[in-house]
Structure 1
Amino acid sequence: MIFIIFFIAAILVVTAAIHLNHCGDVISKKTSLSGAVVGTFLIAGATSLPELTTSITAVYIDNPDIAVGNMLGSNVFNLLILAMVDLFYRKQRLFQRINQHANLPSAWISLTFLIIISLSLLVPESIQLFNIGIEMYMIVIFYIFSMKFIASDYEDDDGSPLTKDLPLSSAIKGFLIAVVVVFVSGSILSIAGDHMAEITGMNASFVGSFLIAASTSLPEFVSVLAAFKLANYNMAVGSIIGSNLYNLKLLVLTDVLYRKGAILNSIQGTHLYVAILGITMTLFLIYTLIRPNRIGRLGHYIMPSLFIITLYFVTSYMIFFK
């Protein structure tokens, strides 16, 4: 029965995420907001709702490994999604069709957050203030000071046509309805995935970082594909980078809600591997954003995406058998 519930929830998440992108595309075309801004803030925030619900639920049932693993694992899975889409549509050369400057600030900030978390995981007992790890305060302070870099220097998209024209008011209403559906169905998807994991007997660290993280990242996967189909490449990349930023900010919230001390002090050491994986994959992403657009050979172009995909599966194998 739990497998049927999981499948139905997955269908609802996919359907809502597609509608989310259609409405987001209309909003980006009919307002002064660019596709990168819509992807980074509106869609990324909405598609991160399943991660939020899953981690809050994990805190409630006193399973910090799933709470943290879900956030960190979703980040690396999101980057895997982007790499796989880039590899599959390699002839379109995704990263040569976007506003690289618009997406770089969010990527650098996400990298900094992951470095802070990794350094904290290396310390046996991190400093706490009001039962919250000092690293979470650092993330919040850094994010506040970096907001001006995220909000500035965005450009409009290339004027690609709308596949589904809607009045702006209808697009906004449709977007909000899709958000609710993603929240509810994504939550069911996460809970069902948790029960499925319990049946298989896998450890909580692997379940949170890979199984549940992959489940809650399903909206991001559909968002990228739908945005790519709409030829809104800035939205495709922006939704992934923005979603990773949201996930790391939501990790702060899980620490606030976890009242048994700093949440990073209560998890297994294998999460450090996931955090380091996130750093490495983000560095490859940044490289694709800053390298010159004129790359002759297709094999040279797809190398970063191939490295990202390989790193993900090698690390997954290592953690599963650790």
Structure 2
Amino acid sequence: MQSLPVSILGFACCAALIIYSGSRLSKYGDLIAELTGIGKAWFGLVMMSVVTSLPELFTGVSSIIVVGSPDIAVGDIMGSCAFNLLILAIIDYFVPGKPISALVTTEHIVAGFLGMFLVTLAVITIVFGNMIPTIGWVSVSSVIMILLYFVSVKIMFGNKSSGTQNNQTNTSRENHQLSLVIRKYIFFAVLVIAGALALPYFADSLAEQAGLSKSFVGTLLVAASTSLPELVVSIAAVRMGSMDMAVGNLLGSNVFNMLILSIDDIMYTNGPILSSVNPIHALSGLFTLLMTSVVGIGILQHVPKKRLVLGIDALIIIILYLILIISLFIIDNHQS
């Protein structure tokens, strides 16, 4: 096992690779969407969320198959969901005058509600995992999550796709050849996958060297690292005035994260993964539910202006996230 400085350096290098490649991946994904005529609504809530969630997907696979640590995999997913909502509060700072929740459509409530339902299902499975039936080694909850994800995407966007306009107007971006953009997209996707595959190895070593639990490291450090592409993309979207794309990316990423959790369950062949991990992950899920509720209320209320540099809903989300991290740290110390 490598020393603590080597573990920290390796973790930092993997995180930097994911952050940089993830931002490039999102850029070329956006270009592909424009060159092929994919609608922005679909791109924000589905395509963008899938692209920025690639680190979580391959980090989970590596955590289970290479490192053999389901706690890092589950901690990454549950922590990423909470961190994505923290990102929503952070980007509120970059929106002048009004809270970002007042500038987006109420259509995001659907994605928020779906995310809450899937997270609730995950929390129930973590707490009562032994009582939930399985199909082989896979929990029935995971099967439900997979089916619900694809059915929901079909329902939410089936009708919108027919109204998508294929804009053939020449722009500076359309000067890029589609084949060249796709090659660059694949190149940065490979870099993201490489960083995500190596990240759990250093995270596992870092946890042991620093005396921290794998649950805590997965929920805080790994989740923050794999969620940074969402932060980069969302800030860029806000600066371009695409508030709906930014919010759709974050809420859509949380929905896609639950699909990744189901994939992790399939990859983990020692039984249902949510029955094999530290129950502390349920706490992350509960706080994610609270934070998503705050987002939904903010979108529905449409508060006309900020009283501070942040909207009230963004401030509450930040406070909830800090309470979550402090609680996890205290519980982790008691368990160790």
* TM tier relative to shorter chain: 0.7 to 0.9
* CA 36–20 in structure 1, closer or farther in 2 if over 3 Å, else same: farther
Q: Distance in 2 between matches of 1:207 and 1:121?
A: 18
Asked whether the equivalents of residues 63 and 200 of structure 2 are also in contact (C-alpha less than 8 Å), the reply is no
- The corresponding residue for 1:261 is 271
1:265: Cα distance to partner?
1.2
The answer for the alignment partner of 2:69 in structure 1 is: 63
- Given the alignment of the two structures, is residue 216 of structure 1 paired with residue 226 of structure 2, yes or no? yes
* One of 22, 37, 43 as aligned partner of 2:27: 22
> Runs of 5+ in structure 2 lacking a partner?
1-5, 332-336
Q: 1:311 to 1:127 in 2, by over 3 A?
A: same
Asked if residue 176 in structure 1 is aligned to residue 181 in structure 2, the reply is no
Q: Kindly tell me: are residues 190 and 156 of structure 1, through their superposed partners in 2, closer, same or farther at Cα, counting changes over 3 Å? A: farther
Q: Residues 30-51 of structure 1, C-alpha deviation per residue, up to 9 Å, x if partnerless?
A: 4432333213222321221221
Deviation at 1:163, TM superposition (A): 8.1
Instruction: Map Cα deviations across residues 56-89 of structure 1 (whole Å, 9 max, x no partner).
Output: 2222233221121111111111111111111343
Q: Distance in 1 between matches of 2:26 and 2:87?
A: 16
The unaligned stretches of length 5 or more in structure 1 are none
Tell me by how many angstroms 1:205 deviates: 1.2
Correspondence list, 1:131-280, <5 A: 131-151=137-157, 152-153=159-160, 166-167=175-176, 169=178, 170-280=180-290
Query: Which residue number corresponds to residue 114 of structure 1?
Result: 119
CA contact 2:78–2:284 (8 Å) conserved in 1: yes
Question: Equivalent of 1:96, from 98, 102, 115?
Answer: 102
Residue 202 of structure 1: SS of its match in structure 2? coil
Report if aligned partners of 2:62, 2:198 keep a CA contact under 8 Å in 1.
no
Question: What letter corresponds to residue 56 of structure 1 in structure 2?
Answer: V
Find 1:320's aligned residue among 302, 324, 329: 329
Tell me the TM-score normalized by structure 1: 0.87
Would you say the 8 A contact 2:79–2:220 is kept in 1?
yes
2-side partners of 1:247 and 1:200: how far apart?
28
Secondary structure of 2:182's match? helix
Aligned length: 318
Q: TM-score, normalized by length of structure 2?
A: 0.84
Q: Which moved more, 1:302-311 or 1:50-59?
A: 50-59
Residue 92 of structure 1 and its aligned partner are, at CA, apart by: 5.7
Letter in 2 for 1:87: Y
Please say if 1:33 is aligned against 2:38. Answer: yes
Per-residue deviation, residues 88-114 of structure 1 (Å, max 9, x unmatched): 43536433333442x332222111101
- CA–CA distance in 2 between the matches of 1:96 and 1:177? 37
Change (3 A) 1:168 1:309: farther
Residues in 2 aligned to 1:208 and 1:8: alpha-carbon distance in whole angstroms:
17
Which amino acid is the alignment partner of residue 210 of structure 2? Answer: T
Return the alpha-carbon distance in structure 1 between the equivalents of residues 209 and 172 of structure 2: 43
What RMSD, in angstroms, separates the aligned Cα atoms of the two structures? Answer: 2.8
Q: Hey, what does 1:79 align to over in structure 2? A: 85
> Matched residues in 1 for 2:309 and 2:21: separation?
36
SS across alignment from 1:244? helix
Amino acid paired to 1:25: D
Say if 1:65 and 1:11 are closer, same or farther in 2 by CA, change over 3 A. Answer: closer
Question: Aligned letter for 1:249?
Answer: L
SS at match of 2:235: helix
* Stretch deviating more after TM superposition (8-17 or 246-255): 8-17
Amino acid at match of 1:320: F
What displacement does 1:165 show? 5.7
Work out whether residues 26 and 166 of structure 1, in 8 Å CA contact, stay in contact via their aligned partners in 2. Answer: no
Aligned residue identity for 1:50: P
> Contact 1:35–1:232 (CA<8 Å) still a contact in 2?
no
